[in-house]
Protein backbone atom coordinates (compact mmCIF):
# COMPACT_ATOMS: atom_id res chain seq x y z
CA UNK A 1 0.00 0.00 0.00
CA UNK A 2 1.29 3.46 -0.92
CA UNK A 3 1.07 6.05 1.87
CA UNK A 4 0.98 9.57 0.44
CA UNK A 5 1.60 12.69 2.50
CA UNK A 6 1.84 16.38 1.74
CA UNK A 7 1.62 17.10 -1.99
CA UNK A 8 2.31 13.51 -3.04
CA UNK A 9 0.29 12.13 -5.95
CA UNK A 10 -0.67 8.71 -7.22
CA UNK A 11 2.02 7.08 -9.32
CA UNK A 12 2.17 8.34 -12.93
CA UNK A 13 -0.58 7.00 -15.15
CA UNK A 14 -2.75 5.79 -12.27
CA UNK A 15 -6.22 7.10 -11.46
CA UNK A 16 -8.10 6.63 -8.24
CA UNK A 17 -11.36 5.20 -6.98
CA UNK A 18 -11.49 7.27 -3.82
CA UNK A 19 -13.31 7.41 -0.52
CA UNK A 20 -12.88 10.05 2.20
CA UNK A 21 -13.16 9.94 5.97
CA UNK A 22 -11.50 9.60 9.35
CA UNK A 23 -11.91 5.80 9.30
CA UNK A 24 -11.31 5.62 13.04
CA UNK A 25 -11.42 1.93 13.92
CA UNK A 26 -12.13 0.77 10.34
CA UNK A 27 -15.37 -0.78 11.63
CA UNK A 28 -17.87 -2.89 9.68
CA UNK A 29 -19.42 0.19 8.08
CA UNK A 30 -16.02 1.28 6.82
CA UNK A 31 -15.23 -2.25 5.70
CA UNK A 32 -18.41 -2.48 3.64
CA UNK A 33 -17.57 0.79 1.91
CA UNK A 34 -13.99 -0.35 1.25
CA UNK A 35 -15.18 -3.67 -0.20
CA UNK A 36 -17.46 -1.78 -2.58
CA UNK A 37 -14.62 0.60 -3.45
CA UNK A 38 -12.19 -2.25 -4.20
CA UNK A 39 -14.71 -4.06 -6.40
CA UNK A 40 -15.49 -0.94 -8.43
CA UNK A 41 -11.80 -0.04 -8.66
CA UNK A 42 -10.96 -3.49 -10.03
CA UNK A 43 -13.75 -3.23 -12.62
CA UNK A 44 -12.43 0.13 -13.81
CA UNK A 45 -8.68 -0.59 -13.54
CA UNK A 46 -8.42 2.10 -10.85
CA UNK A 47 -6.40 2.29 -7.63
CA UNK A 48 -8.61 1.94 -4.53
CA UNK A 49 -7.55 4.98 -2.51
CA UNK A 50 -8.53 6.46 0.85
CA UNK A 51 -8.24 10.06 2.02
CA UNK A 52 -7.91 10.24 5.79
CA UNK A 53 -6.98 13.00 8.22
CA UNK A 54 -4.36 13.43 10.92
CA UNK A 55 -4.80 14.62 13.56
CA UNK A 56 -8.48 13.84 14.05
CA UNK A 57 -10.44 16.97 13.01
CA UNK A 58 -12.17 17.10 16.40
CA UNK A 59 -8.80 17.72 18.10
CA UNK A 60 -8.44 20.89 16.01
CA UNK A 61 -12.05 22.06 15.98
CA UNK A 62 -12.83 21.16 19.59
CA UNK A 63 -9.54 20.91 21.49
CA UNK A 64 -9.90 19.45 24.94
CA UNK A 65 -13.02 17.46 24.08
CA UNK A 66 -11.73 15.39 21.17
CA UNK A 67 -12.52 11.69 21.58
CA UNK A 68 -9.80 9.12 22.23
CA UNK A 69 -9.15 7.05 19.12
CA UNK A 70 -10.08 3.49 18.30
CA UNK A 71 -7.11 3.36 15.92
CA UNK A 72 -4.42 6.08 15.87
CA UNK A 73 -2.82 6.70 12.50
CA UNK A 74 -0.22 3.90 12.39
CA UNK A 75 -2.77 1.25 13.37
CA UNK A 76 -5.38 2.77 11.05
CA UNK A 77 -2.97 2.40 8.13
CA UNK A 78 -2.48 -1.28 9.01
CA UNK A 79 -6.23 -1.84 9.07
CA UNK A 80 -6.72 -0.06 5.74
CA UNK A 81 -4.01 -2.17 4.14
CA UNK A 82 -5.66 -5.34 5.48
CA UNK A 83 -8.88 -4.13 3.84
CA UNK A 84 -7.21 -4.10 0.42
CA UNK A 85 -6.67 -0.36 0.00
CA UNK A 86 -4.03 0.44 -2.61
CA UNK A 87 -3.14 3.98 -1.53
CA UNK A 88 -3.84 6.23 1.43
CA UNK A 89 -3.44 10.00 1.29
CA UNK A 90 -2.91 11.33 4.82
CA UNK A 91 -4.13 14.92 4.87
CA UNK A 92 -2.82 17.08 7.69
CA UNK A 93 -5.82 18.67 9.39
CA UNK A 94 -5.20 22.12 10.82
CA UNK A 95 -7.11 25.39 11.09
CA UNK A 96 -6.28 26.33 7.51
CA UNK A 97 -7.66 23.02 6.28
CA UNK A 98 -10.77 23.47 8.43
CA UNK A 99 -11.47 26.76 6.67
CA UNK A 100 -10.90 25.37 3.17
CA UNK A 101 -13.85 25.54 0.79
CA UNK A 102 -15.30 22.24 -0.33
CA UNK A 103 -14.59 23.18 -3.96
CA UNK A 104 -10.90 23.81 -3.23
CA UNK A 105 -10.55 20.50 -1.38
CA UNK A 106 -11.98 18.63 -4.36
CA UNK A 107 -9.70 20.41 -6.83
CA UNK A 108 -6.53 19.94 -4.78
CA UNK A 109 -7.00 16.48 -3.28
CA UNK A 110 -9.38 14.53 -5.49
CA UNK A 111 -8.51 15.96 -8.89
CA UNK A 112 -4.85 16.98 -8.70
CA UNK A 113 -3.37 14.48 -6.23
CA UNK A 114 -5.50 11.37 -6.73
CA UNK A 115 -6.81 11.90 -10.27
CA UNK A 116 -10.16 10.55 -9.12
CA UNK A 117 -12.47 8.86 -11.61
CA UNK A 118 -14.83 7.52 -8.94
CA UNK A 119 -15.61 8.86 -5.44
CA UNK A 120 -17.61 6.74 -2.99
CA UNK A 121 -18.90 8.24 0.26
CA UNK A 122 -21.52 7.50 2.88
CA UNK A 123 -24.98 8.92 2.37
CA UNK A 124 -24.45 11.40 5.25
CA UNK A 125 -21.04 12.61 4.04
CA UNK A 126 -20.17 16.26 4.75
CA UNK A 127 -16.94 18.13 4.01
CA UNK A 128 -15.33 21.54 3.62
CA UNK A 129 -15.59 24.72 5.67
CA UNK A 130 -18.45 24.52 8.17
CA UNK A 131 -19.31 21.14 6.59
CA UNK A 132 -21.16 22.94 3.81
CA UNK A 133 -20.25 20.31 1.23
CA UNK A 134 -22.50 17.29 0.82
CA UNK A 135 -23.08 14.46 -1.64
CA UNK A 136 -25.14 16.69 -3.94
CA UNK A 137 -22.34 19.27 -4.20
CA UNK A 138 -19.79 16.51 -4.69
CA UNK A 139 -21.83 15.17 -7.63
CA UNK A 140 -21.95 18.63 -9.18
CA UNK A 141 -18.20 19.04 -8.84
CA UNK A 142 -17.69 15.53 -10.18
CA UNK A 143 -19.57 16.33 -13.36
CA UNK A 144 -17.34 19.36 -13.82
CA UNK A 145 -14.09 17.53 -13.10
CA UNK A 146 -14.73 14.16 -14.69
CA UNK A 147 -15.38 11.81 -11.79
CA UNK A 148 -18.45 9.78 -10.85
CA UNK A 149 -19.91 9.95 -7.32
CA UNK A 150 -21.60 7.08 -5.54
CA UNK A 151 -23.36 7.15 -2.18
CA UNK A 152 -23.15 4.08 0.05
CA UNK A 153 -25.93 3.36 2.58
CA UNK A 154 -25.00 3.03 6.25
CA UNK A 155 -24.47 -0.44 7.65
CA UNK A 156 -27.04 -1.20 10.35
CA UNK A 157 -26.46 -3.55 13.29
CA UNK A 158 -29.42 -2.77 15.51
CA UNK A 159 -28.60 0.87 14.72
CA UNK A 160 -26.11 2.60 12.41
CA UNK A 161 -22.51 1.39 12.78
CA UNK A 162 -20.33 4.37 13.68
CA UNK A 163 -17.08 5.13 15.48
CA UNK A 164 -19.04 7.21 17.99
CA UNK A 165 -21.25 4.26 18.83
CA UNK A 166 -18.23 1.97 19.25
CA UNK A 167 -16.55 4.48 21.57
CA UNK A 168 -19.69 4.74 23.69
CA UNK A 169 -19.88 0.97 24.06
CA UNK A 170 -16.22 0.68 25.04
CA UNK A 171 -16.45 3.50 27.56
CA UNK A 172 -19.17 1.48 29.30
CA UNK A 173 -17.14 -1.74 29.18
CA UNK A 174 -19.20 -3.22 26.33
CA UNK A 175 -16.25 -4.83 24.56
CA UNK A 176 -18.33 -7.73 23.21
CA UNK A 177 -20.86 -5.43 21.52
CA UNK A 178 -18.05 -3.20 20.25
CA UNK A 179 -16.33 -6.23 18.70
CA UNK A 180 -19.53 -7.00 16.78
CA UNK A 181 -19.34 -3.55 15.19
CA UNK A 182 -15.58 -3.56 14.64
CA UNK A 183 -15.46 -7.09 13.24
CA UNK A 184 -12.66 -7.89 15.74
CA UNK A 185 -11.86 -7.31 19.43
CA UNK A 186 -10.89 -3.76 20.33
CA UNK A 187 -7.11 -3.42 20.60
CA UNK A 188 -4.75 -1.03 22.34
CA UNK A 189 -0.98 -0.92 22.08
CA UNK A 190 1.72 -0.02 24.54
CA UNK A 191 4.94 -0.97 26.29
CA UNK A 192 5.30 -3.12 29.40
CA UNK A 193 6.65 -0.97 32.23
CA UNK A 194 7.51 -1.56 35.87
CA UNK A 195 4.65 -1.27 38.34
CA UNK A 196 4.58 -1.65 42.11
CA UNK A 197 5.21 -5.42 41.93
CA UNK A 198 2.19 -6.24 44.08
CA UNK A 199 0.73 -8.76 41.63
CA UNK A 200 3.83 -10.94 41.78
CA UNK A 201 3.74 -10.93 45.60
CA UNK A 202 0.11 -12.10 45.44
CA UNK A 203 0.97 -14.93 43.06
CA UNK A 204 -0.51 -13.19 39.99
CA UNK A 205 2.30 -11.33 38.21
CA UNK A 206 0.99 -8.65 35.89
CA UNK A 207 2.35 -6.78 32.90
CA UNK A 208 1.67 -3.08 33.40
CA UNK A 209 0.88 -1.63 29.98
CA UNK A 210 1.78 2.00 29.31
CA UNK A 211 -0.86 2.47 26.62
CA UNK A 212 0.15 4.74 23.75
CA UNK A 213 -1.41 8.18 23.72
CA UNK A 214 -4.79 8.58 21.98
CA UNK A 215 -5.92 4.94 22.26
CA UNK A 216 -9.32 4.48 23.83
CA UNK A 217 -9.02 2.22 26.89
CA UNK A 218 -12.31 0.46 27.78
CA UNK A 219 -14.11 1.44 30.97
CA UNK A 220 -13.00 0.21 34.37
CA UNK A 221 -13.44 -3.54 34.82
CA UNK A 222 -11.84 -6.95 34.54
CA UNK A 223 -11.71 -8.54 31.09
CA UNK A 224 -10.70 -11.71 29.31
CA UNK A 225 -8.33 -10.84 26.52
CA UNK A 226 -5.22 -11.57 24.51
CA UNK A 227 -1.78 -10.04 24.79
CA UNK A 228 0.35 -10.27 21.66
CA UNK A 229 4.03 -9.48 21.44
CA UNK A 230 5.66 -8.26 18.25
CA UNK A 231 5.24 -10.96 15.59
CA UNK A 232 3.86 -13.31 18.23
CA UNK A 233 0.62 -15.20 18.76
CA UNK A 234 -1.93 -13.94 21.27
CA UNK A 235 -1.47 -15.10 24.87
CA UNK A 236 -4.55 -15.74 27.03
CA UNK A 237 -4.84 -12.90 29.50
CA UNK A 238 -6.88 -11.42 32.34
CA UNK A 239 -6.88 -7.63 32.04
CA UNK A 240 -7.67 -5.22 34.85
CA UNK A 241 -8.50 -1.62 33.96
CA UNK A 242 -8.97 0.78 36.83
CA UNK A 243 -7.49 2.61 39.79
CA UNK A 244 -6.94 -0.41 42.08
CA UNK A 245 -9.49 0.60 44.72
CA UNK A 246 -8.41 -2.12 47.15
CA UNK A 247 -5.05 -0.36 47.55
CA UNK A 248 -5.79 3.24 46.55
CA UNK A 249 -8.87 4.94 47.98
CA UNK A 250 -8.55 8.17 45.98
CA UNK A 251 -10.61 8.60 42.79
CA UNK A 252 -7.70 10.64 41.45
CA UNK A 253 -5.35 7.63 41.50
CA UNK A 254 -3.78 6.98 38.11
CA UNK A 255 -5.48 4.59 35.71
CA UNK A 256 -3.71 1.24 35.47
CA UNK A 257 -3.96 -1.31 32.65
CA UNK A 258 -2.61 -4.59 34.04
CA UNK A 259 -2.46 -7.90 32.18
CA UNK A 260 -1.99 -11.24 33.93
CA UNK A 261 -0.94 -13.72 31.26
CA UNK A 262 -2.23 -17.23 31.93
CA UNK A 263 0.28 -20.10 31.97
CA UNK A 264 3.23 -17.87 31.17
CA UNK A 265 6.60 -17.37 32.78
CA UNK A 266 8.98 -14.83 31.35
CA UNK A 267 10.19 -11.24 31.38
CA UNK A 268 7.99 -8.84 29.41
CA UNK A 269 9.52 -5.56 30.60
CA UNK A 270 10.20 -3.13 27.79
CA UNK A 271 8.38 -5.16 25.17
CA UNK A 272 5.85 -3.64 22.79
CA UNK A 273 2.47 -5.31 23.07
CA UNK A 274 -0.98 -5.38 21.56
CA UNK A 275 -3.77 -5.97 24.06
CA UNK A 276 -7.14 -7.19 22.76
CA UNK A 277 -10.28 -7.04 24.89
CA UNK A 278 -12.48 -10.09 24.26
CA UNK A 279 -15.11 -10.18 27.04
CA UNK A 280 -15.93 -8.35 30.24
CA UNK A 281 -15.82 -10.60 33.30
CA UNK A 282 -16.90 -8.20 36.03
CA UNK A 283 -16.84 -4.64 37.31
CA UNK A 284 -14.06 -3.24 39.46
CA UNK A 285 -14.63 -3.58 43.20
CA UNK A 286 -12.97 -3.00 46.54
CA UNK A 287 -11.97 -6.04 48.59
CA UNK A 288 -11.68 -6.27 52.37
CA UNK A 289 -8.21 -7.80 52.28
CA UNK A 290 -5.64 -9.55 50.14
CA UNK A 291 -7.12 -13.00 50.79
CA UNK A 292 -10.48 -12.01 49.34
CA UNK A 293 -8.74 -10.34 46.41
CA UNK A 294 -6.60 -13.39 45.62
CA UNK A 295 -9.64 -15.68 45.73
CA UNK A 296 -11.41 -13.44 43.22
CA UNK A 297 -8.34 -13.29 40.99
CA UNK A 298 -8.32 -17.10 40.86
CA UNK A 299 -11.97 -17.04 39.79
CA UNK A 300 -11.20 -14.39 37.18
CA UNK A 301 -8.38 -16.50 35.74
CA UNK A 302 -10.61 -19.57 35.57
CA UNK A 303 -13.46 -17.72 33.88
CA UNK A 304 -11.10 -16.03 31.41
CA UNK A 305 -9.57 -19.39 30.48
CA UNK A 306 -13.03 -20.88 29.92
CA UNK A 307 -14.23 -17.94 27.84
CA UNK A 308 -11.14 -17.82 25.65
CA UNK A 309 -10.99 -21.60 25.19
CA UNK A 310 -14.65 -21.81 24.23
CA UNK A 311 -14.53 -18.82 21.93
CA UNK A 312 -17.73 -17.48 23.44
CA UNK A 313 -18.46 -14.32 25.35
CA UNK A 314 -19.21 -14.24 29.03
CA UNK A 315 -22.01 -12.45 30.79
CA UNK A 316 -20.28 -9.97 33.15
CA UNK A 317 -20.32 -10.97 36.80
CA UNK A 318 -22.28 -8.29 38.66
CA UNK A 319 -20.95 -7.76 42.16
CA UNK A 320 -20.28 -4.69 44.31
CA UNK A 321 -18.89 -2.51 41.82
CA UNK A 322 -10.34 -4.91 41.89
CA UNK A 323 -7.35 -5.54 42.05
pTM, two decimal places: 0.88
Q: Average pLDDT of the chain?
A: 88
From first CA to last CA, the distance across the chain in angstroms is 43
Model confidence over 297-310: pLDDT tens digits?
A: 899 999 999 999 88
User: CA 301 to CA 95: how far, in whole Å?
Assistant: 49
Answer whether residue 252 shows pLDDT above 70: no
Q: Where residue 160 falls among pLDDT bands split at 50, 70, 90?
A: confident
Domain boundaries defined on the chain: 2-152, 186-310
Assign a CATH topology to domain 186-310.
Elongation Factor Tu (Ef-tu); domain 3 (2.40.30)
Q: Where residue 234 falls among pLDDT bands split at 50, 70, 90?
A: confident
- What per-residue confidence (pLDDT) applies to 259? 92
In contact, 112 and 16? CB cutoff 8 Å: no
Query: Would you say the C-alpha torsion 314, 187, 199, 251 has a positive or negative sign?
Result: negative
Mean pLDDT score, 282-298 = 84
% of the chain with per-residue pLDDT over 70:
90
Beta pairing partners, 223: 239, 280
Q: Which residues have C-beta within 8 Å of that of residue 320, sequence separation ≥ 6?
A: 283, 285, 286
Assign a CATH topology to domain 2-152.
Rossmann fold (3.40.50)
- What per-residue confidence (pLDDT) applies to 285? 83
Model confidence over 46-87: pLDDT tens digits?
A: 999 999 999 999 999 888 888 899 999 999 999 999 999 999
- What per-residue confidence (pLDDT) applies to 158? 75
Question: Among 11-15, 194-198, 244-248, 289-293, which range has the highest average pLDDT?
Answer: 11-15
Answer whether residue 220 shows pLDDT above 90: yes
| Cα angle, residue 20 at apex, residues 19 and 25 outer, rounded to 5° | 100
Chain-centroid distance of CA 317 in Å reads: 26
Model confidence over 161-207: pLDDT tens digits?
A: 999 999 999 999 999 999 999 999 999 999 999 877 666 666 678 88
Mean pLDDT score, 89-117 = 96
- What per-residue confidence (pLDDT) applies to 319? 34
Mean pLDDT score, 32-59 = 96
In contact, 156 and 180? CB cutoff 8 Å: no
Amino acid sequence: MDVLVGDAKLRPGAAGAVTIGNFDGVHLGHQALLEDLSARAAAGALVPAVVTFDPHPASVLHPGTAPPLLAPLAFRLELLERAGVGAVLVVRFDKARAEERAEDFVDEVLVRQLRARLVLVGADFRFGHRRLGDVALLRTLGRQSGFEVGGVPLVDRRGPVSSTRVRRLLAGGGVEEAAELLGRPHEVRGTVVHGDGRGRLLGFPTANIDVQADYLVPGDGVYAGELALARGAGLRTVVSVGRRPTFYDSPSASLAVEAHVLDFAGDLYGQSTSLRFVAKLRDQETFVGEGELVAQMRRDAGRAADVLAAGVLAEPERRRGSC
